[in-house]
Amino acid sequence: MNSHNVLEIKDLNVAFGNKVVLENINLFLHNKEIMAIVGPNGGGKTTLLKTILGIYKPIKGEIKILGNKYKKLPKGLVGYLPQKDLINYNFPVLVKDVVFMGRKILKSFPYILNDQDREICFDALKRVNMEHLINTSFSNLSGGQKQRVLIARVLAMQPKILMFDEPATGLDVVGQEDFYELINKLREEDNITILMVTHDIGVISKYVDTVACLNKKIHFHGSPLDGKLSEVLDKVFGKNMQFIVHDSKCLTCMGHHTHE
């Protein structure tokens, strides 16, 4: 670890009751790094993100963001897109209102946005190429468009770190490529550090700098091009590998089948 790390996790243990779900986790992300967390169902991936957010309290260890420990995560520092099915995620509001909500999180009551706040929101929509749909109803958008608007919503907080929990689920192959291109742009142009949980083992080597394989403990942390990774994945996923990667919702995997 060094002082340039944006996120540092040291000797972290998290338990629910007496069941230890995360054990001795050590991870660090430097500025503009894109890290993928992979691992089997129930391996603790979502728990790790929620612990970083301060939703779960560790029983041991510490987390630092920009070198600082925190009890409550400072507003706006980390943008988080939870694990869910995008298609079922509906707001009865316009696209711009969804993005305004992201900015309002930084305000206190009565949550009024000034011209500068609105400018930041419009800019966030531009970053994700959705400004032309600003007055469209959110519920009428495609899955990929909804995801872009939800990304704009967190960008409106001007976060330092973005965390995604299975962002590619529910997107078609083109949508997934677009998503990875977008996060690469955000990292390059907006200096954002990205941590994402994914099951797309096939695409990570193309788009991420580092991979952490998590199943209660970190079984691997390094480059996706490291030959040891596939060995570790085989061991951690075992026979379930096919099931995990080719999950019924995973359209990338369906795409991979057609190329095989």
Binding residues for Mg ion, rule: CB under 5 A, are 45-46, 83
Closest CA to 23 of 51, 60, 56: 60
Complex with ligand ATP: residue 114 or 240, whichever CB lies closer: 240
Q: Are 177 and 183 in contact (CB under 8 A)?
A: no
Q: Rounded to whole angstroms, how far apart are CA atoms 220 and 48?
A: 15
Piece of 42-50, 91-99, 110-118, 169-177 that binds ligand ATP (CB under 6 A): 42-50
Binding to ligand ATP in span 80-119, by CB under 6 A: 83
Shortest Cβ 108–ligand ATP spacing (Å): 29
Shortest Cβ 189–ligand ATP spacing (Å): 30
Contact status: 16 vs ligand ATP (CB under 6 A): yes
Q: Which helix (H) or strand (E) holds 241?
A: helix 241-245
DSSP 8-class letter at 137: B
Complex with ligand ATP: residue 44 or 175, whichever CB lies closer: 44
Contact status: 45 vs ligand ATP (CB under 6 A): yes
Complex with ligand ATP: residue 47 or 193, whichever CB lies closer: 47
Cβ-based burial of 119 (10 A; exposed 0-12, middle 13-18, buried ≥19): exposed
Binding partner of residue 153 among Mg ion, ligand ATP, none, CB under 5 to 8 Å per kind? none
Q: Rounded to whole angstroms, how far apart are CA atoms 7 and 161?
A: 8
Binding ligand ATP by CB under 6 A: which of 5, 47, 176, 210? 47
- DSSP line for 200-233: -HHHHHHH-SEEEEEESEEEEEE-TT-THHHHHH
Contact status: 42 vs ligand ATP (CB under 6 A): yes
Under the rule (CB under 6 A), what is the footprint of ligand ATP?
A: 16, 21, 39, 41-47, 83
